[in-house]
Amino acid sequence: MHYLKSGHIHPSAEAIYKHLKPAHPSLSLATVYNTLEVLVEAGEIVRLTIDAQRTNYEYGRTPHDHFWCRSCGRIYDIPAARARQPKFLRGHRVEHSVQYHHGVCRECLPKTK
């Protein structure tokens, strides 16, 4: 969890494993996945499933949306849309809301023209 809190934005389980393995030689990828699942279930971190091939994680912070660049694969945090609280949610307690935007980021856009 310290890895996620320390500013590593949207890492995959594999990226977390590669970062931690040198300092913890006995660490297994299965342990990383199991620990991430426990933290997700406890509400400590958020699982981001951008598409069927990738799962990323982040430390739960203020509500925000995500933009995924299909060209470079980077995931950007973007401010949550304020108008996304439909009237039918009144009286209910929303515990988690996710919205993903897919496209090409401004850095990759010139390369696609």
Any binding-site annotation on 77?
no
Task: Tell me the two tokens of residue 18.
Answer: 């590669």
Any binding-site annotation on 106?
no
Any binding-site annotation on 103?
no
Any binding-site annotation on 80?
no
Pairing type for strands 100-103 and 64-69 reads parallel
Any binding-site annotation on 72?
yes
Contact residues for 112 (Cβ-Cβ < 8 A; gap 6+): 71, 104
Binding residues for Fe cation: 65
Binding residues: 65, 69, 72, 105, 108
Binding residues for Zn(2+): 69, 72, 105, 108
